[in-house]
Chains A and B, each alone.
Chain A
Amino acid sequence: MIELLIRAIIAGTPLLLASLGELITERSGVLNLGVEGAFVLGVAAGYVSTVITGNAYIGLLVGGIAGALIGLIHGLVSVCFRAHQVISGLALTMFGYGLASLFGRVYVGIPLPTYLLTDRIWYIILVLSVIFSLVLWYMIFKLKLGVIIRSVGENPYSASVLGVDVVKVRVLCTVIGSFMVGVGGAWFTLGYLHIWTEGLGMGRGWISLAIVIVAGWNPILAPVFSYLFGCVEAAIWTLQLPPYNIDPFILGMLPYIVTLVALTIFMATPLKKFLKPPAALGYVYFREERTV
């Protein structure tokens, strides 16, 4: 039983990192559909750099940088260039998939020289994650930095009149958020699966996106849902083995069904009144003089 819990925590942590990152991005009003690409790229980059350097922490860093790169392009294109946020994000997801596949192909089958010894220190990880979420919560709701970010996400026009540099805030939040997604991706392999294959990590980015919504864009709820997911993963892993022997593909549907159901429940109940998205999320921000 405790084994399952450990597994749940280890599996849920990359999701937590990714969703906290996307949460910051979305609080500033930017919808980053490139999270999926950033995550998968983070997996590949983390794995490859760990193999090359032999240091898992460098792997985490490189994964983060890879994610930040995706975030930078997305910020540039959708915030500075005012292009369509959805399309920009999807294009970057494809780009991330392709890049991961391109750089990682040589390393398929090469084992990790070292990885994060997460199963020994799982309780430390849990505590750290919760503390991290609380810190983020404090930052977003109590510090001026959080007020700035939220103002840009709720009403960028008023925020700009009040002196906030909307473009700078949005781009920074996108880059930092994507960095965290990339770290989450690196963690996914370095701390959990310890392997790399083509397409590893696909689907997790989308799940983080869903977690942000269901957590109501509130950092305190993010760990709740991330670890819930971790439990689902742990359950899948156990149910595949004897004595249950459930078909792995049927089990593979579970995370996505759970996500879909969670989203529907969230939207269908009064919950969504308390946990509303930032008002300007996804809207392109134009600063032009208009007299009409």
Chain B
Amino acid sequence: MRVSFYIKRRVKPIKYSGIIVPIGSIILALIISSILLLLSNINPLYLYQAIASSAAEYSTLRYSIPLILAGVGLAIAYRANVWNIGSEGQILAGAVITTWLALYILPHEMPSSLALAILYISGFIAGAFLALIPAILKVKFGVNEVLSTLMLNYIMLQLTNYLVYGPWRGLKEYGYPRSDIFPKSMWIPQIPRTSIHYPTLIIAVILSILTFILIYKTKTGYEIRVLGSNPDAAKYSGMNIAKIITIVMLLSGGFAGIAGVGEVAGVHRQLIRAEMVSAGFGYTAIIVAWLAKLNPLVIILTGYFIGILVSASYTLQIFTGVSYGSVNVITGILLISLISLEFLSRYKPVVKIIR
């Protein structure tokens, strides 16, 4: 007797799988995370409490802003099958250029709107520039962009810390060095009593809409989608593949750069340790993008939702001492569940017993 196991495509995907799959994966992720928390002697109820309280307060939007921005940028790149994993570093690039301009270049009495406009644009340019390097390496030499963007993340991390601990060190509180506080004119305004820097939020939403139009309604968007679906067809059609790769890298890097501007000028109002500036947003944005199936408008929703999770992890840290890094457990499981359930909705396993 022999058991053979193979996969058969379902004639039609399971009904309503568009809803069941994301929700199912969220539930699965929460269940597994609870089990893991139990195993480390932590009451999972704290987790749910933290999530509930984060969901109730709108101040958690603060975390959604960089996630949405970076996520939208990644959606553009991933649609073309260009795996930019470097958002973390690109965020830092935006943060660094902002600090430099705000503290050392721009006159302190500059009108605020002009200063902020310059900061946002420079952040975009800085992020785009950092992303240009892996783009060129990929186009000219075929260097795998996953590795090149990752390396640049770490390089930017060290560079930022060098600046904060070194030449740009300002006040010294709680043992962690920080830069000087930015002049008031270069503070991005916040909603009172929260750290939601709403101009950046508005920019995020606008960019998300513009990106949606770009991808689905324009020539460039079409080229991006074709390249992502079938590079042979792109070549056959005569598309300039190098150009497409470069554009998507520049855009995704630039958007992440803007997120960096928001973090330093909108939340902290100074440059702090790199790990706390980018705080894993760059990596978490990957999940935000994928959860939304790379649809820029849906990213607003998933960005909000994951923002809640991130906020919950900080709350959890306060209550239980679990470091905020453990939110990665939830997001990691979430992504795995998502792709597994997606697969199961389209294929069913068939077990055949043969005598």
A188-203 to B contact mask, C-beta < 8 Å, 1/0: 0000000000110001
Docked-complex contact A91 and B332, CB < 8 angstroms: yes
Q: A86-B83, A253-B159 are in contact. Are A98 and B336 (CB under 8 A)?
A: no
Task: Tell me the chain A residues, 28-74 only, with Cβ under 8 Å from chain B.
Answer: 33, 37, 73
Q: How far is the CB of B45 from chain A (nearest CB, A)?
A: 16
Bound-complex Cα distance A199 to B322 (A)? 14
**Chain B residues, Cβ within 8 Å of A121:** none
A243-284 to B contact mask, C-beta < 8 Å, 1/0: 000010110110111011001100110000000000000000
DSSP majority for the A interface? helix
Docked-complex contact A88 and B336, CB < 8 angstroms: yes
**Chain B residues, Cβ within 8 Å of A90:** 85, 283, 286, 335
Q: How far is the CB of A156 from chain B (nearest CB, A)?
A: 15
Contact with A103, one of B9, B40, B155, B161 (Cβ below 8 angstroms): B40
Candidate in B36, B83, B325, B327 with the most chain A CB atoms within 10 angstroms: B325
Q: A89's closest neighbor in chain B, by CB?
A: B146
Q: B339's closest neighbor in chain A, by CB?
A: A83
Looking at B58-66, B114-122, B136-144, B251-259, the stretch in contact with chain A turns out to be B136-144
Docked-complex contact A92 and B143, CB < 8 angstroms: no
**Chain A residues, Cβ within 8 Å of B283:** 90, 94
Q: Is A144's CB within 8 Å of the partner chain B? A: no
B146-157 to A contact mask, C-beta < 8 Å, 1/0: 111011101100
Contact with A206, one of B150, B323, B329 (Cβ below 8 angstroms): B150
**Chain B residues, Cβ within 8 Å of A83:** 339-340, 342-343
Docked-complex contact B154 and A203, CB < 8 angstroms: yes
Contact with B343, one of A81, A259, A267 (Cβ below 8 angstroms): A81
Task: Tell me the chain A residues, 87-124 only, with Cβ under 8 Å from chain B.
Answer: 87-88, 90-99, 101-103, 105-106
Task: Tell me the chain B residues, 307-355 only, with Cβ under 8 Å from chain A.
Answer: 321-323, 325-336, 339-340, 342-344, 347
Q: Is B162's CB within 8 Å of the partner chain A? A: yes
Docked-complex contact B336 and A264, CB < 8 angstroms: no
Bound-complex Cα distance A263 to B166 (A)? 30
Q: Is B198's CB within 8 Å of the partner chain A? A: no
Contact with A77, one of B137, B321, B331, B340 (Cβ below 8 angstroms): B340
Docked-complex contact B340 and A257, CB < 8 angstroms: no
Docked-complex contact A101 and B325, CB < 8 angstroms: yes
Docked-complex contact B137 and A264, CB < 8 angstroms: yes
Bound-complex Cα distance A106 to B332 (A)? 22
Docked-complex contact A247 and B147, CB < 8 angstroms: no
Docked-complex contact B323 and A101, CB < 8 angstroms: yes
Contact with B40, one of A91, A102, A263 (Cβ below 8 angstroms): A102
Q: Is A210's CB within 8 Å of the partner chain B? A: yes
Docked-complex contact B336 and A92, CB < 8 angstroms: yes
Q: How far is the CB of A158 from chain B (nearest CB, A)?
A: 19
Q: Is B305's CB within 8 Å of the partner chain A? A: no
Q: What class of interface size applies to chain A in its complex with B?
A: 35 or more
**Chain B residues, Cβ within 8 Å of A257:** 151, 155
Q: Is B165's CB within 8 Å of the partner chain A? A: yes
Docked-complex contact B151 and A86, CB < 8 angstroms: no
Docked-complex contact A105 and B36, CB < 8 angstroms: no
Q: A95-B329, A249-B159, A287-B6 are in contact. Are A259 and B147 (CB under 8 A)?
A: yes
Bound-complex Cα distance A84 to B9 (A)? 17
Docked-complex contact A260 and B151, CB < 8 angstroms: yes
Q: Is A6's CB within 8 Å of the partner chain B? A: no
Bound-complex Cα distance A99 to B166 (A)? 33
Bound-complex Cα distance A203 to B154 (A)? 8
Docked-complex contact B330 and A98, CB < 8 angstroms: yes
Q: A77-B340, A253-B158 are in contact. Are A98 and B85 (CB under 8 A)?
A: no
Docked-complex contact A98 and B147, CB < 8 angstroms: no
Docked-complex contact A105 and B336, CB < 8 angstroms: no
Q: Is B287's CB within 8 Å of the partner chain A? A: yes
Q: A84's closest neighbor in chain B, by CB?
A: B339
Q: Is B46's CB within 8 Å of the partner chain A? A: no
Q: Using CB atoms and an 8 Å cutoff, list the residues of chain A in contact with chain B.
A: 33, 37, 73, 77, 80-84, 86-88, 90-99, 101-103, 105-106, 198-199, 203, 206, 209-210, 213, 247, 249-250, 252-253, 255-257, 259-260, 263-264, 267-268, 287-288
Can you list 25 A-B pairs with a CB-CB distance of less than 8 A? A33-B146, A81-B344, A84-B339, A88-B336, A88-B339, A90-B85, A92-B332, A94-B284, A95-B329, A96-B332, A97-B332, A98-B328, A98-B331, A99-B326, A102-B322, A103-B40, A105-B322, A105-B323, A198-B325, A209-B147, A256-B151, A256-B155, A256-B158, A263-B137, A267-B142
